[in-house]
Every structure is written in C-alpha cells, then in structure tokens.
Structure 1
Amino acid sequence: MRAVITVIGKDKIGIIYRVSKILSEYKINIEDISQTILQDVFTMVMLVDLSESTCKFTDLKGKLENVGKEIGMTIRIQNEDIFNAMHTI
C-alpha cells in the first residue's frame, strides 16, 4: 500500500528531518518527494510505501499530526487511491 503525505506551513529548519525520522522509525520508504517554498510558505508532498511498515495507518496518522502541531505545520496522510480520487476531475 502507498500513501501521500502533505506538509504545509511556515518554513523553518528541520521539517523534512522531523517527518522522515518518523517514517524511518517505522520502516516506511519514501518513493518520491517534492518540496518548494513560496515566499516563506513551505509545501511538501511525499509518496511513501507502507508495505513494510511496523505501525498501523491510524497510529502513523496521529504521530504525523502530533509532529505537525509541535512544529506549527499541517501534516496529513492519505491512502494513495483516496488521494488520487479526490484530485481527479
């Protein structure tokens, strides 16, 4: 199973580190990543592989949301199929 993680908020040091640290801890592979900064707004989209994850999806979602709160960012994770369905015209 694959998922899409989105991160949005004011740019600061350590955003990618904080997100990727959680993914690494739970054996989640980052397959693709795109990030940009528009003025001081940081945006990142990651495509991750959950097939070897040692964490339940709902637990991972909570962990990512908690890190987002700690660093003042919005972090969301969605199943890739749901993400694609929501963004198809």
Structure 2
Amino acid sequence: MKCVISVLGKDRSGVVAAVATALADCGANIDDISQTILDDIFSMTMLTTLDPQVADFNTVQERLEKVGEDVGMQIIIQREDVFQYMYKI
C-alpha cells in the first residue's frame, strides 16, 4: 500500500532518523523523500510503501503519532489513493 507522509514542525536534529526508524520497524519502505527548512520550520514529505503483513495502516499511523509526540512534530500519514483524490477536484 502506497502512502504519503507529511512532517512539519520546528527544526531539530534527529527527526528524519526517528521517522525512518519507525517506518523500518514497521516494515515500510521509503520510496521518495523531500525535505526543506524555511527559516526554522522543518517540512518533509515521503512517499512510502507499507507491508500490511508486517504492520497495517493503523499500526503505522499510531507509531508515527508517537514519534511525532516524541520529536515535537506534526506527522500525518494518508493513503496515496485518498491523497490523490483530495487534489483531483
């Protein structure tokens, strides 16, 4: 299952590592990644592939919410098909 993950918050070290580690622990693959820092605001978007045999969407979502709390970032995961439909209008 393809998913889009968005990360936003005040820049700090360790954010990419924390998100990537959580995804790896869930058996997910990072297919593409883009990140930028504007002033002191960190923004990252990832296209990932989840392996539902290792961790389903809800499990990955819960894990990323915990990571977001730990690093002080907003982390949102969306199924790619839902993401694409949102922007077709």
Q: TM-score range by the shorter chain?
A: over 0.9
CA RMSD of aligned residues (A): 1.2
Matched residue, 1:59: 59
Matched residue, 1:29: 29
Shift of 1:10: 0.3
Could you state the TM-score of these two structures normalised by the residue count of structure 2? 0.93
Is there any run of 5+ residues in structure 2 with no aligned partner, and where? none
Could you state the TM-score of these two structures normalised by the residue count of structure 1? 0.93
Matched residue, 2:77: 77
Task: Name which of structure 1's ranges 47-56 and 3-12 shifts more when overlaid on structure 2.
Answer: 47-56
Is there any run of 5+ residues in structure 1 with no aligned partner, and where? none
Q: How far apart are the structure 1 equivalents of 2:50 and 2:7?
A: 18
Q: How far apart are the structure 2 equivalents of 1:70 and 1:80?
A: 25
